[in-house]
Structure 1
Amino acid sequence: MDTASRSAAELTYRDATAADADALVALIESAYRGDSSRTGWTTEADILEGQRTDPKGVLDVIEAPGSRLLVVERDGGLIACCQIEHRGEAAYFGMFAVRPGLQGAGLGRVIIAAAERIACETWGVRQMQMTVITAREELIAWYERRGYRRTGKLFPFPYGDERFGLPQRDDLKFELLVKPLV
């Protein structure tokens, strides 16, 4: 059994609760911000400082109608999370984080496939959507290898809103990526 298959068999998924908020913030921050994020490959530390999210932001996702924040555990410990949100015939995928020391071993691929399956089973959606900072070319390429395609549809980065971090450059924007699920 390869590493990804073994990893998939060991993972459990559940919906996050309010009691998970602080642990989820810590996980998300560790994957994207500060020195701890540099042990993984998903770091945004070179383009954004400050926070990636906060307890209120996590609670908003947990409590929003049509939204699920999936907690991914192995051996009872939190190792990853992701959001799926129902948006008509599509689902939105976001707030994806894998513990930095576990990145690069195939977990992300397994988790995103599970999120796509859960979104299809839960809402019958035909497409998964996400937005990614365009400066994150390596991350976009990773999603393209998972079947996502760039749409060219761009959205401005929320400059001035410290809830999303402190930009270290002035050219940040998001691009919509999509993947057909059926």
Structure 2
Amino acid sequence: MPENPVFRTATPADVPDLVALIESAYRGEASRAGWTTEADILGGQRTDADMVAAMVNGTSGRMLVAEQDGVLAACCQLENRGGHAYFGTFAVDPGRQGGGLGKQVLTEAERLARDEWGAAEMHMTVITAREELIAWYVRRGYVRTGELSPFPYGDARFGLPRRDDLQFELLTKKLH
């Protein structure tokens, strides 16, 4: 049984491991070990070292990491957007998915946003084709807003789409 996660803010030294974790959770064959894979809808990269370093070094938020059994097991990006927080770049090691670690990371992110930043709401965007992932967030109190934004087609930094109907939907949750 894995130990409870230890949470901390990522440092620049974590960037290579964070890139590997995020890629493993979303792209390629390794991602198919978990249920959060995007391999069927997107190829190419999910992120790169420059993008992750920008999140780690950003002044408006933090990259939260969860270590389990001494290993980087999960992460998420949190941004303080004045009144609400943004949750993104959420990744759990595919071999550790399905055991509650993702719920623990999301709960800690919500706690940080509410208690440390005074955020009234958490916002996130999810690819609408990811119905099972949206359902997971809805079970955790997130609301589908119907507010859509386009997928960045033509920008290989965000992946190579395998279909032409990708878009994001804003999900929100009140942080009481």
> TM-score, normalization: structure 2?
0.97
- Matches of 1:141 and 1:75 in 2, distance apart? 29
Aligned match for 2:162, one of 131, 151, 168: 168
Aligned position for 1:132: 126
2:99 equivalent to 1:105: yes
The one-letter code of the counterpart of 1:82 is C
Aligned position for 1:55: 49
Deviation at 1:75, TM superposition (A): 2.3
- Matches of 1:30 and 1:157 in 2, distance apart? 21
Deviation at 1:25, TM superposition (A): 0.3
The one-letter code of the counterpart of 1:96 is F
- Matches of 1:107 and 1:19 in 2, distance apart? 23
Identity of aligned residues (%): 63
- Matches of 1:39 and 1:70 in 2, distance apart? 23
Aligned position for 1:19: 13
- Matches of 1:130 and 1:180 in 2, distance apart? 12
Which segments of structure 1 move beyond 2 Å, counting only runs of 4 or more?
Answer: none
Aligned position for 1:142: 136
* Offset from partner CA, 1:68-100 (integer Å, 9 cap, x none): 001110122100001110011100000100000
The one-letter code of the counterpart of 2:24 is S
Partner-residue secondary structure (3-state), 1:179 = strand
| Contact 2:5 2:101 (C-alpha < 8 Å) held by counterparts | no
Aligned match for 2:149, one of 147, 155, 159: 155
- Matches of 1:75 and 1:139 in 2, distance apart? 26
**Which segments of 5 or more consecutive residues in structure 2 lack a partner in the other structure?**
none
2:44 equivalent to 1:44: no
Aligned position for 2:58: 64
Aligned position for 1:35: 29
Partner-residue secondary structure (3-state), 2:37 = coil
Aligned match for 2:71, one of 64, 72, 77: 77
- Matches of 2:94 and 2:54 in 1, distance apart? 24
Deviation at 1:15, TM superposition (A): 0.8
- Matches of 2:65 and 2:142 in 1, distance apart? 23
The one-letter code of the counterpart of 1:137 is E
- Matches of 2:87 and 2:105 in 1, distance apart? 11
Aligned match for 2:110, one of 109, 116, 120: 116
Partner-residue secondary structure (3-state), 2:170 = strand
- Matches of 1:38 and 1:20 in 2, distance apart? 24
| Contact 2:146 2:170 (C-alpha < 8 Å) held by counterparts | yes
Number of residue pairs matched by the alignment: 176
